[in-house]
Chains A and B, each alone.
Chain A
Amino acid sequence: MTVSETDLLTANGAEARVPVTVLTGFLGAGKTTLLNRILTEQHGKRIAVIENEFGEVGIDQALVIGAEEELFEMNNGCICCTVRGDLIRILGTLMRRRDRFDYILVETTGMADPGPVAQTFFVDDEMQEQLRLDGIVTLVDAKHVSQHFEDSAEVREQIAFADVILLNKTDLVEPGDLDELEARIRLMNAAARIHRTRDAAVDLDRILNIGGFDLGRAIQIDPKFMEAEHPFEWVGVYELGADPAQLRLQPGPDPTMNALLLPVGAATPEALEQLLMPAILAFSDEPAVLESGGRIAPSGLHELVLGDAESVFDLDVRTSPPHLPGGQGGQIVSLEGCYALFTQHLPAEFRAVVHGAGGPLTPHLEREFAPDHVHDKAVTSVGLTIPGDLDPKRLNAWMGGLLQTQGPDIFRMKGVLSIAGDDRRFVFQGVHMLFDGRPDRPWGESARENRLIFIGRNLDRAALTEGFKGCLVNAS
């Protein structure tokens, strides 16, 4: 707990505001089952439930209040946002019975947009004073959700907004399909915690008081999801240079495929990891078109043109010095050694094999990357990790402009920033156009860097990266 949070605390150090969990999920995802568990099981917690889809029922352990959805357009300073008038009314009245509960759970209808619900807690002064939006929990029907990914904006938004996703009805789905679904949801929302459930059975501590909007916990995101989106699906590390080598491919699903060959210090995962960013950058370049028989030089991106029969490309690293990423010019390097071959698609799709003098070569190391095409076209997460200190004026200008133009598309945003001249981390989070941030604990020993994640629609990673880099103090 940091000093700057104390204004929200009571004299004895306890958070005075009541945590509110918002429960979303498409019809049939299991919200009713979960609510019934909460209302009937002996879990020892006092929870007030606000139900959206059914009438009003009073139950011993919890209060259930029917709510009629009502949206307000509201001017909040210079920005306009939509809030839920019914929630302000109902929560305001519910708080008169503050002594009766410790948590509030708000169920939204299957078609509800979580945005206005979340915004309500940040723009209404009465709500802000008494309540704390703790987290958005989205129930997902593991069996049927994928068929709604394309046709339902609500389903995508409910996933994008979530702090916790309950992948429910796991008993109706094959384990492999479940892994695939989880991976797909991950790509839409890299920041959420995902739990697999059956009959909506979940430990309530996983959905209540989780601190989803807690600035101190703003960016507890699994680092592997902070990595860039990969324009390649596969990389293999080979030892090249001693003998001639060739990449042989058979006709496959596409007439061309991009490939990149880069030297790598060693056949280790760490060395490969360091090569990913240069490879991503190289893949954004215009490729050199290469017909069968051509030479894949260890520099620049190549577009391999694949014929009707086998195509063969030389992997000749001896005839020209490699282009080293990071401009290590003037350094004397051995041309023989480990090279990483990045391919746009999986080699198996083209039965692609690297042949040496003595036959097919097995890579010392290989890695597959989640292919781009399973990304949901509408909703994605863009995680950025960028070193350097930020100029607060530039950051404000950029963020202000971004939120004004793209606010409706940015559902959630969280991050930890390194502000020039401040030895403390700056933590922030946002919902649509609403932004909340403050300095946090000092950086201390840890390396100063900026880590942020955007979850939303139509996010352009390159533009976000470029815009953000423009806010660094040393940006041109």
Chain B
Amino acid sequence: MSRQRVLRSGLRARLREEWKVEVDDYVTALAWSADASRLAVALGSGPIAVLDAADGSACQRHEGHGMGTLALAWRPEGDELASAGQDGLARIWRDGERAVEVAGGASWVERLSWSPDGSRLATSAGRCLRIWDTAGNLQHDLASPEIIYDIGWRPSGRGIAAAGYGGVRIWRWDRLDKPRHLQWKGASLRLAWSPDGDYIATGDQDASVHFWMTASGHDLMASGYDTKVRHLSWDSSSRFLATAGGSDVLVWDCSGKGPAGTRPRSAEVHEAGVGALAFQHQGRWLASGDGQGRLVAWDPRIGPKTVGGASVGGPVTQLAWSPDDRRCAVATSTGEVVVFEFSQE
């Protein structure tokens, strides 16, 4: 079957297992290097394994963070891996060596994010949001009155947002002393900027999703989830926001006048709680994995008939598309890391 024909009739996702390795521990983070050659895997007890993306063989193993590694991020366009954990530290690994080590400001460094151009690294720990250069020099030390649950760079790189109890705060580099506060009386657990920067979406403890319009500060709220909303992902066109709370995957359409008054799309594909979810980086496909090890991919523009699936040996905790969107890596709480080749049929 020629590739062209597949694309033309490509209505159904196909996930074919390429390789699988056992890492014998809860996988807390998974990240592809920018060139898609390596996959970094963080474990609950602390170590970080860097695997060859071709076959899963180990390239490097770092001791990681004592008490547990919480976050991993490869530098965009670069070859450096950043990690953060329960030892209160963030590190940058270069050529397998620890090149930089910085203190996050509280006992756990929970979030880590490179600026879109890869020139700066943001870390959040407790109420501290710190911005570093690639050599580990502190650029900005920002304080939030509330504990920070998630962070996200403005897609333009001109600012950064932090979510927590009380809503979202956005800092702009030219007005650091006066962060903008998008106020909500509840705890926002996850934050995601739409790629065009028009929206900030949050997933909330009180089983809701908020859409903040960044230009006006206007807030739309979607409630009715079974549980708190722990997973968010925008598609590259900024049209769709995929959300998950419990076993529901709901996809909101922000085209036209926005999501107000619309009903979300759903494929009702999971019977257990969703543990991870992500849109492709450029493509239209959405993948999600659940507590029973079921992995599915579908195209929300077309609907449930596009659903294709696979399964892994334990509850899914992590899911990451390769930078070229051709592969999808999944990891479980039981220590399985599986890479699937994605195609349409």
A86 to B165, CA, bound (A): 11
Inter-chain residue pair count (beta carbon < 8 A) = 62
A74 at the interface (CB under 8 A from B): yes
Cβ of B228 under 8 Å from chain A: yes
Q: Given that A85-B165, A97-B26 are known contacts, is A75 also in contact with B68, CB under 8 Å in the complex?
A: no
* Cβ-based interface call for B232 (8 A): no
Chain B 138-149, CB-CB to A under 8 Å as 1, else 0, gives 000000001101
Answer yes or no: A393 CB below 8 A from chain B CBs: no
Closest Cβ of chain B: how far from A444's Cβ, in Å? 37
A116–B185 Cα distance when bound, in Å, is 17
Given contacts A93-B68, A97-B26, contact A85 B187 (CB under 8 A): yes
- Count of A interface residues, CB-CB < 8 Å: 25
Question: Do A74 and B186 touch across chains, with their CB atoms under 8 A apart?
Answer: yes
- Report whether B68 and A96 are in contact in the complex, using a CB–CB cutoff of 8 Å: yes
A97 to B45, CA, bound (A): 7
State how many angstroms separate the Cβ of B16 from the closest Cβ of chain A.
29
Q: List residues 92-148 of chain A with CB under 8 A from any CB of chain B.
A: 93, 96-98, 124-126, 129
Q: Which of B44, B45, B70 has the most CB of A within 10 A?
A: B44
Does A44 touch B at the CB level, under 8 Å?
no
B345 within 8 A of A: no
Stretch of A64-72, A270-278, A351-359, A369-377 lying at the B interface: A64-72
Q: Which of B226-258 contact A (CB under 8 A)?
A: 226-228, 246
Partner of B86, one of A70, A85, A93, A125: A93
Give A45-74 as 1s and 0s: 1 = Cβ < 8 Å from B's Cβ atoms: 000000000011010000101101010111
* Cβ-based interface call for B213 (8 A): no
Complex: how many Å from CA A74 to CA B208?
12
Contacts of A98 in B (CB 8 A): 26
Known: A125-B226, A125-B227. A96 touches B147 (CB 8 A): no
The distance from the CB of B340 to the nearest CB of chain A, in whole angstroms, is 23
State whether A68 and B66 are in contact (beta carbons under 8 Å apart), knowing that A56-B107, A96-B333 are contacts in the complex.
no
Q: Contact at A56–B206, with CB atoms within 8 Å? A: no
Give the Cβ gap from A18 to chain B, nearest Cβ, in Å.
14
Given contacts A56-B67, A58-B67, contact A74 B206 (CB under 8 A): yes
**B187/A97 in contact, CB under 8 A:** no
Give the contacting residue for B205; candidates A65, A72, A86, A96; CB below 8 A.
Answer: A72
| Chain A nearest Cβ from B223, distance in angstroms | 9
CA distance A219 to B194 in the complex (A): 53
A292 CB to closest chain B CB, in angstroms? Answer: 65
Q: How far is the CA of A72 from the CA of B106 in the complex (A)?
A: 20
- Rounded to whole Å, the gap between the CB of B209 and the closest CB of chain A is 14
B28 at the interface (CB under 8 A from A): yes
Quote the shortest CB–CB distance from B85 to chain A (angstroms).
10
B126 within 8 A of A: yes
Alpha-carbon gap, A208 to B187, bound state (A): 31
Report whether A74 and B205 are in contact in the complex, using a CB–CB cutoff of 8 Å. Answer: yes
Give min CB distance, A99 to chain B, whole Å: 9
What are the residues of chain B within 8 A of A124 when measuring CB–CB?
A: 205, 228
Residues of B within 8 A of A75 (CB): 186, 206
Q: Which residues of B are found within 8 Å of A56, using beta-carbon distances?
A: 67, 86, 107
Report A107 CB to chain B, min CB distance, Å.
16
**A68 touching B106, Cβ below 8 Å:** yes
CA A97 to CA B28, docked complex, whole Å: 11
8 Å CB interface, A360-408 against B: none
Of residues 41 through 59 on chain B, the ones whose CB sits less than 8 Å from some CB of chain A are 44-45
Q: Which of B45, B67, B149 has the most CB of A within 10 A?
A: B67
Which residues of A sit under 8 angstroms from B26, Cβ to Cβ?
Answer: 96-98
Chain A residues whose CB sits within 8 angstroms of the CB of B246 once the complex forms: 125
A46 to chain B, nearest CB (A): 15
> Distance in Å from the Cβ of A359 to the closest Cβ of chain B?
75
Question: In the docked arrangement, what's the CA distance between A55 and B107, Å?
Answer: 9
In A75-97, the 8 Å CB interface with B consists of 75-76, 85-86, 88-89, 93, 96-97
Smallest CB gap from A66: residue in B: B107
A70 to B228, CA, bound (A): 18
B89 to chain A, nearest CB (A): 13
CB closest chain-A residue, reference B44: A96
Question: A86 vs B26: C-alpha distance in the bound complex, in angstroms?
Answer: 21
* Interface pair A85/B147, CB less than 8 Å apart: yes
| Contact indicator per residue, chain B 77-111, by CB within 8 Å of chain A (1) or not (0) | 00000000010000000000000000000111000
Q: CB-CB < 8 A to A68: which residues of B?
A: 106-107, 126, 147
Asked if A97 and B68 make an inter-chain contact with CB atoms under 8 angstroms apart, the answer reads: yes
> Shortest CB–CB separation between residue B322 and chain A, in angstroms?
25
CA distance A424 to B108 in the complex (A): 49
Question: Cβ of A97: which chain B residues have Cβ within 8 Å of it?
Answer: 26, 44-45, 68
Tell me if B187 and A96 are in contact (CB < 8 A).
no
Residue numbers in B under 8 Å from A66 (CB-CB): 107
A148 smallest CB distance to B (angstroms) = 30
Q: Chain A nearest CB: distance from B191 CB in Å?
A: 15
A88, B230: Cα distance in complex, Å:
13
Distance in angstroms between the alpha carbons of A98 and B333 in the assembled complex:
10
Distance to closest chain B CB from A87 (angstroms) = 12
Instruction: List chain B positions with a Cβ less than 8 A from chain A.
Output: 26, 28, 44-45, 66-68, 70, 86, 106-108, 126, 146-147, 149, 165, 185-187, 205-206, 226-228, 246, 273, 333
Seen from chain A, the residues whose Cβ lies within 8 Å of a Cβ on chain B are 55-56, 58, 63, 65-66, 68, 70, 72-76, 85-86, 88-89, 93, 96-98, 124-126, 129
6 A-B pairs besides A93-B108, A96-B28, A126-B228 with CB distance below 8 A are A68-B126, A70-B165, A74-B187, A85-B205, A93-B86, A96-B26
Closest 8 CB pairs between A and B?
A125-B227, A96-B44, A96-B26, A75-B206, A72-B187, A70-B147, A97-B44, A66-B107
A sample of 28 inter-chain contacts (CB < 8 A) reads A55-B107, A56-B107, A58-B67, A63-B67, A65-B86, A66-B107, A68-B107, A70-B147, A70-B165, A72-B165, A72-B186, A72-B205, A73-B186, A74-B186, A76-B206, A85-B147, A89-B147, A96-B26, A96-B28, A96-B44, A96-B68, A96-B333, A97-B44, A97-B68, A98-B26, A124-B228, A126-B227, A126-B228
